[in-house]
Chain A
């Protein structure tokens, strides 16, 4: 089985060939708004941005779905119970330690990170300004991997 060669490709190179924007939600977005944003784009990872458009965290689809549908589950954690009453914002649900890639990083390193954190969409940031440049979608990586075989 031949392996695709991503060794000389950077994240920026990848984004030039596979244009993809990450799903970004405002820090004050509600669970409904986050789910809507993910469903519209058919994605499973949302990145939270603050008023300065700086990425401050990550929310996975499973996390918001668990909160939204918790009333249909037999058991709840205390956090889920309160979340049903409080209507938490994206900032209150996100993981502030999100995984990202810089545009000059090699794709082979980035893919490892993406798989390690179980991310479908990995956000790529500018090294200088930390502005989001795009997202590496795992399904695109897989598709290219199969084409190369």
Chain B
């Protein structure tokens, strides 16, 4: 039995890198390739043969990876830019999100039971994110030596993740709010605060998705095959219906409401991250593995059909020509 985390992590990284290079060459999504590389080391394949143990040390890495992804997402846009995008994107995003949530929840009562009121958790995370992001932006203005930017951002993220855990607020939302708040307070392209972690993004993706793939367990997936089917259909249907409904309310062009839904089929990091974080929540620990495997299987399906769906929409909307 291999318990050496660095050896396991090294093997995951090497396989992820090789699969990713092949995927890049074949022009297929690298995220699915990383997950497949991880799957190779899951309990049903090589991981079981060598007796890999990842559960004891991987949460630390996946949490940090997820925090970095969430931070860069939060910092990708500012208030001003959101305002300029106008009501189309706001309405369509709301429709997409709520449509998917409502249909997925309605389709699976066990998932619905697991959802509890989390208003305080969300408000706490937003508050903590705003404060930490503001402090980070302040430091970004004060510190001149660019070598300190990466440690500065990483320490803010690690500190906030720890505080979020202690305060029982959402670490993911906290990291996202740090990104948004830091960019807003910093008031510029934010290169100092984001470029150093963006440089790490590919490494973060490899670690994150190979680890997620390594959690794959055939027996658990077999138990929840119906759940995968329901989730895949309900999520896409919900997103499409939500977009159609809200785009009509917002009065956006018909071509947008007709085809935008096809463009939001892909699913990756945040969904897997949330599923992994569920495994660390004691109350949901039993269902965590099932959720991870459901999300992982659906991610592979979405990552395969997603690019084709997007291509179909863009061609039909006459945005691109083949």
A interface residues, Cβ below 8 angstroms from B: 57, 63, 74-75, 77-79, 81-82, 85-88, 91-97
Contacts and interface: CB of A to CB of B under 8 A. Distances in A.
Contact of A79 (B76, B144, B192, B202): B76
B140 to A, nearest CB: 9
B72 A78 contact: yes
B73 A78 contact: yes
A86 B189 contact: no
Contacts of A87: 84
Contact of B190 (A74, A79, A85, A86): A79
A92 B75 contact: no
B226 interface: no
A54 to B, nearest CB: 15
B74 to A, nearest CB: 9
Contact of A92 (B24, B73, B80, B202): B80
B53 interface: no
B201 A63 contact: no
B210 to A, nearest CB: 17
B188 A96 contact: yes
B85 A95 contact: no
A6 to B, nearest CB: 24
Contact of A63 (B76, B78, B144, B189): B189
Contacts of B3: none
Interface of B: 24, 72-73, 75-78, 80-81, 84-85, 141, 144, 186-192, 194, 198, 201-202
Given A78-B76, A92-B80, 12 more contacts: A77-B72, A77-B194, A77-B201, A78-B75, A78-B198, A79-B75, A79-B76, A87-B84, A92-B188, A95-B189, A96-B186, A97-B144
Contacts of B75: 78-79
A86 B141 contact: no
A86 B84 contact: yes
Contacts of B141: 96-97
Contacts of A93: 188-189
Contact of B85 (A85, A91, A96): A85
A20 B29 CA distance: 48
A96 B24 CA distance: 36
B77 A95 contact: no
Contact of B81 (A92, A95, A97): A92
A84 B202 CA distance: 20
10 contacts: A75-B202, A77-B201, A78-B73, A79-B194, A79-B198, A86-B84, A87-B84, A88-B81, A92-B80, A97-B144
Nearest to A99: B144
Nearest to A57: B188
Given A74-B24, A78-B76, A92 B201 contact: no
Contacts of A82: 76-77, 81
A48 B280 CA distance: 48
B189 A94 contact: yes
Contacts of B73: 78
Contact of B192 (A63, A75, A86, A97): A97
A92 B78 contact: yes
Contacts of B85: 85-86
A95 B191 CA distance: 7
Contacts of B84: 86-87
Contacts of A81: 76
B81 A86 contact: yes
Quick one: which of A78, A81, A91 has the most chain B CB within 10 A?
A78
Nearest to B69: A78
A21 B176 CA distance: 41
A63 B191 contact: yes
B69 to A, nearest CB: 9
A96 B201 CA distance: 24
B194 to A, nearest CB: 6
A46 B171 CA distance: 39
Contacts of A77: 72, 76, 194, 198, 201
Contacts of B188: 57, 91-96
Nearest to A94: B188
Ranked nearest first, the 6 interchain pairs of A and B with the lowest CB-CB distance are A78-B76, A93-B189, A77-B198, A86-B81, A82-B76, A79-B76
A82 B180 CA distance: 13
A81 to B, nearest CB: 7
A77 B24 CA distance: 16
